[in-house]
Amino acid sequence: MRIILFGPPGAGKGTQAKLIQEKYGIPQLSTGEMFRAAIKNETDLGKRVKSIMESGELVPDQTVVDLVAETLIDPKYDNGYILDGFPRTIAQAEAFDRILEENGNELDTFISLEVEDDELIKRIMARGEGRSDDTPEKVKVRLEVYNNETAPVKNYYEQQGKLSIVNGLGSIDEIFERLTSLLDNL
């Protein structure tokens, strides 16, 4: 299964992706985690994206696409994966379609976790990750960037007939139950 798990910051993508990974045995690929690791390890990429992420802006499309394409070469992704945090722009989605086509693959589903902004802000402020961009002001910037630049990706996949919408409110288990119900019927 090749799955994109989509939604705004704080929607629960990372939490749900880990649960899907455990249940279905397909690896999670989180661009956010890859970038945070690069920053922590002070790689060239990490140094380039640190200030961008701290300002709440998006990392340039080509940098993200290159990172994902390079990562997907690993044979552990041959039987599928869960993308969390990618694609975030139409340009990234189009580039990802080309990557899939070049590898003779296709996307099984694009799942959008739907959560209201007020709830997202509460979740982000409560999760205590200690990220420098987890302040109310910067969270609002991240949500604004998401709504302006990332949300249109949902329409892109809806036009392809790949969109599935899942209510992202409720307990972790309730949301996971909705997701597994959907995935079990693919």
| 123 is known as an active-site residue | no
Residue 99 tokens, joined: 């990557």
| 131 is known as an active-site residue | yes
pLDDT over 70, % of the chain: 95
Which residue is catalytic, options 13, 18, 50, 123?
13
2-179 is a CATH 3.40.50.300 domain: yes
For residue 25, what pLDDT band results from cuts at 50, 70 and 90?
A: very high
pLDDT at position 132: 66
Residue 146, burial from CB neighbour count under 10 angstroms (0-12, 13-18, 19+): buried
**Residues 153 and 111: beta-carbon distance below 8 Å:** no
| Lowest-pLDDT choice from 23-32, 56-65, 141-150 | 56-65
3-state secondary structure of 182: helix
What is the rounded average pLDDT of the residues 139-167?
92
pLDDT at position 128: 62
Distance, CA of 71 to CA of 65 (rounded, Å): 10
Mean pLDDT of the chain: 89
Distance, CA of 132 to CA of 66 (rounded, Å): 25
Q: Which residue in 106, 108, 114, 58 sits closest to 86, CA to CA?
A: 58
111 forms bridges with which residues in the sheet? 5, 164
Q: Which residue in 127, 141, 174, 135 sits closest to 8, CA to CA?
A: 141
Which residue is catalytic, options 18, 50, 131, 162?
131
For residue 131, what pLDDT band results from cuts at 50, 70 and 90?
A: low
Which residue is catalytic, options 88, 122, 138, 140?
88
| 162 is known as an active-site residue | no
What is the rounded average pLDDT of the residues 44-68?
81
| 88 is known as an active-site residue | yes
Residue 107 tokens, joined: 């996307």
What is the rounded average pLDDT of the residues 28-36?
83
For residue 133, what pLDDT band results from cuts at 50, 70 and 90?
A: low
The CA angle 15-8-11, to the nearest 5 degrees, is: 35
pLDDT at position 55: 78
Q: Which long-range contacts (CB under 8 A, 24 or more apart) does 11-18 make?
A: 11/113, 11/114, 11/115, 11/120, 11/168, 12/113, 12/115, 12/123, 12/168, 12/172, 12/175, 13/84, 13/85, 13/113, 14/84, 15/172, 16/113, 16/172, 16/175, 16/176, 16/179, 17/82, 17/84
Q: Return the domain boundaries, the chain.
A: 2-179
**Residues 129 and 18: beta-carbon distance below 8 Å:** no
pLDDT in tens, 162-171: 999 999 999 9
| 98 is known as an active-site residue | no
Which residue is catalytic, options 48, 142, 162, 178?
142
Kindly report the pTM of this predicted structure.
0.84
5 forms bridges with which residues in the sheet? 84, 111
For residue 130, what pLDDT band results from cuts at 50, 70 and 90?
A: low
**Residues 15 and 172: beta-carbon distance below 8 Å:** yes
